[in-house]
Amino acid sequence: MAISVFDLFKVGIGPSSSHTVGPMRAAQRFAQHLRQTGALREARGLRVDLYGSLAATGRGHGTFTAVLLGLEGYDPETVLPEEVDAALARIERSGCVELCARLADPDPRDAGAEAPEDGAAAPVRIGFGVPDIVLHPLTVLPRHTNGMRFGVVDASGDLLEEQTYFSVGGGFILREGAEESVQDRLESTLAELPYSFTTAVELLEHTRATGLSIAGVMLANERSRRPEPEIRAGLAHIWDVMEACKNSALERTGVLPGGLEVRRRAPEWHRRLTEQDPDRDPRYWQEWINLVALAVNEENATGGRVVTAPTNGAAGIIPAVLFYATHYAPGADEWTPEEKADAIADFLLAAAAVGVLYKEQASISGAEVGCQGEVGSASSMAAAGLAQVLGGTPEQVENAAEIAMEHNLGLTCDPIGGLVQIPCIERNAIAASKAVNAAKMALMGDGSHHVSLDQVIVTMRETGRDMSEKYKETAMGGLAVSGISVGVVEC
C-alpha cells in the first residue's frame, strides 16, 4: 500500500481517529454518494446502524455526533471545534439533520466522482438524531469490528441507497465492496514509487543501495506525489497544528467532558514547571515531555483540533518526542529556523516510514489489535524519528523503532467509560518516555540486534489477534470494567 506521510499525520478533531474521524469521514462519503447518484433529491428518511466497537464505545468517543456531522457534509480535517458545538446544538434543538448541507465539491479521490445533476445537490432536511442511531455492540461485521451502515429511504419508505463502511484505524476508512478497487489503486501507486517498501528489510535495503537515510527514502517517495516545497510546507503545518493543540490545552480549565470528572492537569503542570525550570535545564526533559503528551491528549479528549499521529488516542506521543528533539538534541538551541524545520521534517518522515510498516504488516487500530497498535505504534514511530534526528544510522533507527514496540507488546485497549481519557492520557506520556529511551538505547549500539522490527510488528499483530475481544476497545474488560466503580481517589 502506498501510504503517504500525510495519510499518517492528518489534521482532525478529537477524541478518536477510528471512532470520531473515520465515522465522520464515512458518513460524509455516503452523503457525497447520495448527491452524486441523485438519490439525495428523493431522500426522506435515514437509517444508521453501528456495529461492534463503534456501538459499544461510540458514545464516549463521539461517534454518534460525528456521524451526524458527516451526513451534513462536515469534513474532520477542516471543521473547527466551535462549528462542531454549534452544529450539534442546532441538530439537538431541531431534531433534524440537513443532509449534504455542508458538502464541498465532489471528492476527486472517489473513483467515478461526477458533478451532481442540476437540482440534485440541494440539501434535504430529515428528522434524525442520536437516539435514532441503531446500535449492535455484539455484532461484528466480517471485515472489521468498526462497522457502520448508512441507508436512505424515499417518501414511501423504499430503500434508495445503502452503503457499509469500516473505520480501520487512524481515520482510514474502507467501503464494503470497494476494498479490491482501493487495493488495486494503492498497489498501482506503490509500483510508481521510486523506493516502494512494505517491510523494514526492504526499507533498509533501499538505504544501503542509495546511501539515503530512512527519512530520505520516505522523502524520495513523497516527491513522486508532490513537489518538495509542498511536502516541507505540509510537514511544517503538521508541526504547527501539534503546537497549537498543546497551547490550546494550556489555556483551558476545569474537568474534561464526558462525566468522568477527570481534572485537566496540563495547565497547572505548565505553571509549576515554568517556575521550576525557567532555563530549560536538561534535567527536566522528562517533565516537559510528560506535559506535552498530557496537554495534547487533554485537547484531544476535549474534542479539539489534533493531528492523528497515527491515531487520536496516541496523538500526544509524537509531539512530545518531537518537543524533546527540538529542545534537547545536541546543538538544538543553536539551530537556525531552517535547520529546525529540516529536523522536524526528518523526524516526521522517519516516523512515517515506520508507520507505513505497521499499516502494511499489522494494524494501528485499538479495536483490532489493542492499544499496542495505537500507543505502541506511535511510540515506535517516535523512537525512529528521534533516532533519525540524533544522527542514527538506518539500522539504529530501525532498532529504536523495534525496542519501543517490543516493550509495548500486549497492551490492551480498555478506556474507562469508553472515553479517551483513562488510561489513554497518561499512557501517552509513558510511551513518549519509552520512545526517548528506545532511541537512546539504539544509539548506544551499532544497529545490530536480535529481534528485527519486522518480527516484532508481526508479533504485535499475532498478539492482537489472540487478545480477547474484551480488551479491544469494547468497554467489556480491563480498566473499562474494574476502573469505573473506583471513582476519584481523594488526596
Binding flag, residue 413, ligand SF4 (CB under 6 A): yes
Q: How far is the CB of 364 from ligand SF4 (least distance, A)?
A: 9
- DSSP state letter for 413: B
Nearer to ligand SF4 by Cβ, of 106 and 257: the residue is 257
Handedness of CA 473, 476, 479, 485 (dihedral sign): positive
Tell the residue number behind the cell numbers 439525495, with chain if given. Answer: 40
Decide if 218 contacts 206 (C-beta within 8 A): no
- Encoded one letter per residue, x for contact with ligand SF4 by CB under 6 A and - for no contact, window 117-156 reads ----------------------------------------
Binding flag, residue 420, ligand SF4 (CB under 6 A): yes
Handedness of CA 62, 64, 65, 70 (dihedral sign): positive
A 10 A CB-CB count for 252 gives: 16
Binding flag, residue 424, ligand SF4 (CB under 6 A): yes
Nearer to ligand SF4 by Cβ, of 73 and 415: the residue is 415
Nearer to ligand SF4 by Cβ, of 121 and 413: the residue is 413
Residue span binding ligand SF4 (CB under 6 A) among the ranges 98-106, 284-292, 417-425, 433-441: 417-425
Binding flag, residue 52, ligand SF4 (CB under 6 A): no
Binding flag, residue 366, ligand SF4 (CB under 6 A): yes
- DSSP state letter for 15: S
Short-list 117, 94, 149, 133, CA closest to 41:
117
CA distance 397 to 215: 10
CA distance 400 to 456: 12
Backbone angles phi, psi at 184, to 5 degrees: -60, -45
Backbone angles phi, psi at 274, to 5 degrees: -65, -35
- Encoded one letter per residue, x for contact with ligand SF4 by CB under 6 A and - for no contact, window 304-323 reads ---------xx---------
- Find the binder of ligand SF4 among 415, 433, 442, 456 (CB under 6 A): 415
Helix or strand or coil: residue 442?
Answer: helix
Residue span binding ligand SF4 (CB under 6 A) among the ranges 33-41, 250-258, 416-424, 434-442: 416-424
- Find the binder of ligand SF4 among 347, 473, 474, 475 (CB under 6 A): 473
Binding flag, residue 222, ligand SF4 (CB under 6 A): no
Q: How far is the CB of 131 from ligand SF4 (least distance, A)?
A: 25
Short-list 233, 487, 454, CA closest to 360:
454
- Which positions lie near ligand SF4, rule CB under 6 A? 313-314, 366, 371, 374-375, 413, 415, 420, 423-424, 427, 473
